[in-house]
Amino acid sequence: MKSYKSYFVFLAFLLLTLGNAAVAQQLPQEREPASVAGNWTIYSKSDDGKTATQQIEIKQDGNTITGHFKGPYQSGGLEGTINVRHIVFRTKTRNVLTFRGMVDGNTMEGNFGIHGHHGTWEARRPD
C-alpha cells in the first residue's frame, strides 16, 4: 500500500513539473509587422556609383504589401512582404528591381538588385 501511495505522489509531482515546463516553453506571441503604408521617397546608389531618386506608394494588409513604384526611367506596381521589421519588395516593371531592408519608423534602408547589379538604398516617409 505504501508503494502505491509513493507512486501516486511521484506521478503527481512529475505531471506538475512537466506541465510547468511546457507552459514555460511556449513560443512567444508573433510580433506585429511594422507599419509601412504610405508614400516614401527612396534614395539609391548602385555599385557603379549612379544615384537615383524613386517614389513608392505602399498599401499594407498584415504582412503583405502592394503599391506603386515610380523611378526615373520606369514605373509600375510593386509587391512584397513585411516580417516584423524586415521588408522585401519587387517592382512589377520591365526591369524588375528587388529591394530588401529593415524598417525603423519613418525610415527604411537596405540593399537592392537589378540584372545582377546591386546597390544600397534608404527611404523616408514624411512624419
State phi, psi for 59 to the nearest 5 degrees. Answer: -110, 140
Cβ-based neighbour number of residue 97 at 10 Å: 22
Listed in sequence order, the residues at least 6 apart from 23 whose beta carbon sits closer than 8 Å to its beta carbon are: none
In the block, which residue shows the cell 510593386?
78
Domain 38-124 has CATH 2.40.128.120: yes
CA-based nearest residue to 103, from 69, 65, 53 = 65
Rounded to the nearest 5°, which phi and psi values hold at 6?
Answer: -65, -40
Q: Write the pLDDT tens digit of every residue in 79-93.
A: 999 999 999 999 999
Q: Is pLDDT at 15 greater than 60 in this prediction? A: no
| Bridge partners for 117 per DSSP | 114
Q: What is the pLDDT of residue 10?
A: 62
6-11 average pLDDT score: 61
Check pLDDT > 60 for residue 121.
Answer: yes
Contact 98, 114 (CB under 8 A): yes
Task: Give the model confidence (pLDDT) of 16-68 as tens digits.
Answer: 555 555 454 555 557 899 999 999 999 999 999 999 999 999 999 999 999 99
